[in-house]
Copies of this chain bind each other. A is one copy, B any other.
Amino acid sequence: MFTRVAIIGLGLIGGSIGLALRRSGAASEVVGYDLGKGVSDHARRIGAIEQAYTALPDAVRGADLVVLATPVGAMHALLQDLAPALTPGTVVTDVASTKRQVLAWAEKFLPSSVAFVGGHPMAGKELSGVEAADPDLFCGRVYCLTPTAQTNPAALEMVTTMIHALGARVRFLDPAEHDKQVACISHLPFLASTALVQTVANSPAWGEMALLASSGFRDVTRLAAGNSQMYRDICLTNGEAIVQCLDDYIETLQTLRSMVAAGDRTIENVFVEAQQERLRWQASHDQAEPNCGGNGKKS
């Protein structure tokens, strides 16, 4: 049970954490802060927080848990600003997409009187902003925590309690391992999708081709409509792992290219293998999504 949870950054993720935490009854008070004009008032109106603060120090003062729900690009400045305002004993956690860099900043800026636990919920939506906040967003989803040898065990337990209150499943990962894995299953798909749009849009026939593009094109390119600034910051903080995945991807494409150029019928075997992997993944993914909702009922 939390006395006071402060959520910094009230977008899709921060707003959804507020809604889910308040529904769960795990926190006596959930308060929030957001730089955006009117955002924290909106969050209060939809019930994601009980109180909106206009100054960061006021929001985090006396909180037992502070959740930093901003994109990774905002973390450097936020951790610096936050440091002098935190009450000793506060546990701080974040939701940013990459972890090694955030942990280094937390180590550098936060006082030793507060404990930091890196986190990353594997949940999202096409929509962003507090308007899209949803108490079921984390329901049955994996929520990564990246403790290190320095992580305070009590703080880790506290963040784990929060994650369970959200209805999510905790997964512990080494920060570097986390960054490598999301580079492949999250950052690479975005870059593959973006590069596909770029490739076709740079073709002189794009105006014509656009009329022929159908559901397959739509699905593969959906990620390219994602938040450009967030993905820039992901690239800036996870470059090494992303480059490795991109190299593997380019090599795979070059192999396929050679097979197509040679008219190699055995390319079908490659397609079958990928198809089977994709179907297996989808089946296990579907199975892993349980029902959710406050107090056992679907809201």
Contacts and interface: CB of A to CB of B under 8 A. Distances in A.
Interface of A: 122-125, 141-142, 144, 171, 173, 177, 180-182, 184-186, 188-203, 205, 208-226, 228-229, 231-232, 235-236, 239, 242-243, 245-250, 252-254, 256-257, 259-261, 263, 265, 267-268, 270-275, 277-279, 281-282, 284-285, 288
Q: Would you call the interface of chain A mostly helix, strand, loop, or mixed?
A: helix
A121 to B, nearest CB: 10
- Rank and list the top 10 A-B pairs by shortest CB-CB distance, nearest first: A228-B271, A232-B268, A197-B274, A189-B220, A185-B213, A201-B277, A194-B274, A195-B252, A246-B257, A224-B278
Nearest to A190: B216
Contact of A219 (B184, B201, B219): B219
A186 B232 contact: no
B243 A260 contact: yes
Contacts of A185: 200, 209-210, 212-214, 217
A150 to B, nearest CB: 23
Given A196-B192, A232-B267, A202 B261 contact: no
Given A215-B124, A277-B201, A220 B193 contact: yes
